[in-house]
Structure 1
Amino acid sequence: MTVKSRITGARIFDGMQWHDDAALVIESGHVRSIIREDAGLDSLGTIDARGLLLVAGFIDLQVNGGGGALFNEQPTLESIRQICAAHARYGTTALLPTLITDTRETKTAAIKAGLEAKAAGIPGFLGLHLEGPHLSLARKGAHDPALIRPMEKLDLDEMLACVTQLGCLMVTVAPENATMEQVKALADAGVVVSLGHTDASFETSSTFAKAGARAVTHLFNAMSGLGHREPGVVGAALATGSLHAGMIADGFHIDPAAMGIALRAKQGPAHIFLVTDAMSTIGTDMERFFLNSREILRKDGRLTLADGTLAGADIDMLSSVRFVHEKLGLPIEEAFRMASAYPADTMGIASRKGRLIHGADADFVLLTPELELNSTWIGGRKVFDAGAPFVV
């Protein structure tokens, strides 16, 4: 049965621009249109959102955990459900549960869980991000060095076999442990290959981009920096128009001044987009947890190993949007684009996610003018209401 409704009274940001005195028309979980608020559609069920902002839902391409669940420790369908539910409380309507470097068995279990989540239609589940294990030891960050290894045929075949069913698959690799031929095979199959945890040169990074790499994982972090004689991965990310780049906007992973410089320097048409790199702490009062049998400590907004190495982030997507708007002085429109349209572009799903256009999924958030969350909607259904218990 076709179900139609409209949301009126809100100022609407469709992912790219504002619509005033307008209404969002939803049909069977998809956007039908944005129309004049006074258009005569009395037969539709009407939801009054007067005084609020209606904004395209946030998309997070790097989410290790949330709500107490950590994907590496619990690579299961229920863990994915828990993570998606936790992040919906902060405006994220689509995310990639992210598995960092782990054993082959854990990676296989994570892929199985992702396929189950896709089949079950878990609200907010977009696909998977496999961040490793094919990374550089020199730029391991918080990844367990004992588990880092080169990509083998079995690894490649496993990823190629699941990408079509998953719908969205992002894989972070380092040129030190993956070949251009492997990257090309992945890219040709529809996998979004992201360069990260690598000490590669500018030239090598550029060559891998030409081979099919499409993105750079958590810009500035765990990669060769921007030098005046060797621009490194950071330089390649900023100078290469085809490379998108994720950015953790928590004030710890990157100094705000460096964020601003990068945003001004980025060559298009690709963009810098927001990621949280969130861990299991989101939505909880946890003070510590374990990753690959190593204790991670939570203190003053930071997550670290015992030696002080940053280990993921303790931030949600709405807070990230506020950070780049308030701390960097970025126009709120661009902050919203970095959380919705640009990650959708990175994954090649702009026709159905990240923008409230005809035929797209009706994924959106209602915010107060002060950027406080009122409610989160996925597929035209309210999955979180700030004034009521969580109901997914």
Structure 2
Amino acid sequence: MMKAISASRIFDGIRYHNDAALVWQDDVIQAITPIADLPADIEHQHYADAVIAPGFIDIQVNGGGGVMFNNDITPQAIKTICQAHRTHGTAYLMPTLISSTPENVAKALIAAEQAVNEKIPGVLGVHLEGPWLNKEKKGAHNAELFYSPTIDELNAFPWIVNAKVLVTAAIEKVSDEALTWLKESDVIVSCGHSNATAEALTEKKLSLTDGFTHLFNAMSPFEGREPGVVGTALNTDHAWCSVITDGIHVHPNSFLLAHKAKPQGKLLIITDAMASLGSKNNRFELDGQTIEVIDNKLVNAEGSLAGAHIGMDESVANVIRWGIEEQEALKMASTYPAQAMGADNLGQLKPGYRAAATVLSSQYQTQAVLVDGVLF
């Protein structure tokens, strides 16, 4: 059965359509058509003074709805997290495991595969943030869990074949052989929680690296005599960079500088959100540490930033307020993450693509989210 949603504006990932409707059948987009041309009997929802955009994709989500993935590594927890983030415009996400034990890494891979097999709406795959990180840039991670993986150790994990896997690693702590193994196993590798010098980020390592995780945070800074990870990230054209755009983790001007430095399509918005998003509770546990929201910041007992308390819609609104054009901000939340994850049928509203869209008010507040043909 054909269904449609319409609005004063639709942005399809490339251009705008005025007074148009997005038409889909089952979980596949059929067309964008003028509202006036819709069949009279089609099931149709109209959103006045709104924009329909490709469904937002958040590749770094630690929790939501009161649940931390680290504390509850199950398909049910993933479902709760997806529901919480849908209220902020996220159609798809990667539940993110913060550095944990090898047993929990295996559990996270299995839980994500189950979630995809059970067709829990909104799961794109899983993001393993660690434990192959640098203790000098541990952030809120438990450095006692860090190690450099061998090929045999990597081989032992139950890697997923029917969903995306993103690994954040300090690539100076991972051998070229291990990075090659990950690349050949279709794992997307991002450099993060890294204290590398530019010299340590060799051409070989960079060729095996797809992106950089939460640019500017938990990485060696850019200086005149030492570009560090930040300078290298900005200067590595093939690699995407994810950025937390809550205005707390990164200064707006630093974000705008990164936007000038990176080729178009290589800067993505992430939330790095924790359990507190979409929850009445502003406090939760992570690895025995209490994390709480203070002045809209999530901090641990030492005062270190520990993830973010923001949704994708607010993140997009921030970027637009900082001076990025609306269509570019919408791409940073949908088209570019889809490209970074190799999700070929997401990130645009065009025939044959998955029926996934985010509906925003004129103030960029979420009105509805379409996921695999189901309107939430």
**Kept in 2: contact 1:242–1:270 (CA 8 A):** no
Among 340, 343, 346, the residue aligned to 1:346: 340
Shift of residue 369, structure 1, vs aligned partner: 1.4
Among 315, 331, 342, the residue aligned to 1:337: 331
C-alpha deviations, 1:339-379, integer Å up to 9, x for none?
A: 00111111111x31111122111111222212222111111
Q: Please tell me the residue identity of whatever aligns with 2:182.
A: L
Residue of structure 2 equivalent to 1:388: none
CA distance in 2: counterparts of 1:264 and 1:42, whole angstroms:
47
Residue of structure 2 equivalent to 1:162: 159
Among 92, 98, 101, the residue aligned to 2:99: 101
**Kept in 2: contact 1:135–1:148 (CA 8 A):** yes
In structure 2, the CA distance between the partners of 1:117 and 1:158, relative to structure 1 (3 Å rule), is: farther
**Kept in 2: contact 1:184–1:211 (CA 8 A):** no
Shift of residue 43, structure 1, vs aligned partner: 5.5
In structure 2, the CA distance between the partners of 1:299 and 1:33, relative to structure 1 (3 Å rule), is: same
Secondary structure of 1:263's counterpart equals helix
CA distance in 2: counterparts of 1:212 and 1:346, whole angstroms:
14
Residue of structure 1 equivalent to 2:118: 120
Among 300, 303, 315, the residue aligned to 2:298: 303
Q: Please tell me the residue identity of whatever aligns with 2:70.
A: N
Q: Please tell me the residue identity of whatever aligns with 2:330.
A: F
Secondary structure of 2:172's counterpart equals coil
Residue of structure 1 equivalent to 2:363: 370
In structure 2, the CA distance between the partners of 1:206 and 1:43, relative to structure 1 (3 Å rule), is: farther
Shift of residue 176, structure 1, vs aligned partner: 3.2
CA distance in 2: counterparts of 1:122 and 1:206, whole angstroms:
40
Residue of structure 2 equivalent to 1:130: 128
Q: Tell me, which stretches of 5 or more residues in structure 2 are unaligned?
A: none
C-alpha deviations, 1:264-323, integer Å up to 9, x for none?
A: 111x25511000000000011223211111111211111111111111111111110111
Residue of structure 2 equivalent to 1:321: 316
Secondary structure of 2:237's counterpart equals coil
**Kept in 2: contact 1:241–1:270 (CA 8 A):** no
Q: Please tell me the residue identity of whatever aligns with 1:332.
A: E
Q: Please tell me the residue identity of whatever aligns with 2:220.
A: S
Secondary structure of 1:114's counterpart equals helix
Q: Does 1:140 align with 2:147?
A: no
Residue of structure 2 equivalent to 1:92: 90
| TM-score between the two structures when normalised by the length of structure 1 | 0.92
CA distance in 2: counterparts of 1:114 and 1:9, whole angstroms:
34
C-alpha deviations, 1:114-171, integer Å up to 9, x for none?
A: 1110110110111000000000111111110111111133441145x52313x20000
Shift of residue 260, structure 1, vs aligned partner: 1.2
**Kept in 2: contact 1:194–1:217 (CA 8 A):** yes
Q: Tell me, which stretches of 5 or more residues in structure 1 are unaligned?
A: 384-392
Q: Please tell me the residue identity of whatever aligns with 2:58.
A: D
**Kept in 2: contact 1:63–1:279 (CA 8 A):** yes
Residue of structure 2 equivalent to 1:357: 350
CA distance in 1: counterparts of 2:25 and 2:296, whole angstroms:
41
Residue of structure 1 equivalent to 2:213: 217
**Kept in 1: contact 2:62–2:274 (CA 8 A):** yes
CA distance in 2: counterparts of 1:9 and 1:225, whole angstroms:
44
Q: Does 1:273 align with 2:271?
A: no
In structure 2, the CA distance between the partners of 1:158 and 1:11, relative to structure 1 (3 Å rule), is: farther
Secondary structure of 1:162's counterpart equals coil
**Kept in 1: contact 2:58–2:333 (CA 8 A):** yes
The share of aligned pairs that are identical, in percent, is: 37
Residue of structure 1 equivalent to 2:10: 12
Secondary structure of 1:35's counterpart equals strand
Report which stretch shifted further, 330-339 or 127-136: 330-339
**Kept in 1: contact 2:62–2:68 (CA 8 A):** yes
CA distance in 1: counterparts of 2:92 and 2:312, whole angstroms:
11
Residue of structure 2 equivalent to 1:389: none
In structure 2, the CA distance between the partners of 1:51 and 1:255, relative to structure 1 (3 Å rule), is: closer
Secondary structure of 1:290's counterpart equals strand
CA distance in 2: counterparts of 1:75 and 1:149, whole angstroms:
21
Q: Does 1:286 align with 2:281?
A: yes
Shift of residue 21, structure 1, vs aligned partner: 3.2
In structure 2, the CA distance between the partners of 1:158 and 1:244, relative to structure 1 (3 Å rule), is: farther
C-alpha deviations, 1:201-253, integer Å up to 9, x for none?
A: 22433525543210100001111111112111111111111110100011111
Report which stretch shifted further, 128-137 or 177-186: 177-186
**Kept in 2: contact 1:183–1:211 (CA 8 A):** no
CA distance in 2: counterparts of 1:337 and 1:265, whole angstroms:
17
CA distance in 1: counterparts of 2:334 and 2:341, whole angstroms:
11
In structure 2, the CA distance between the partners of 1:9 and 1:277, relative to structure 1 (3 Å rule), is: closer
CA distance in 1: counterparts of 2:151 and 2:107, whole angstroms:
18
In structure 2, the CA distance between the partners of 1:45 and 1:287, relative to structure 1 (3 Å rule), is: closer
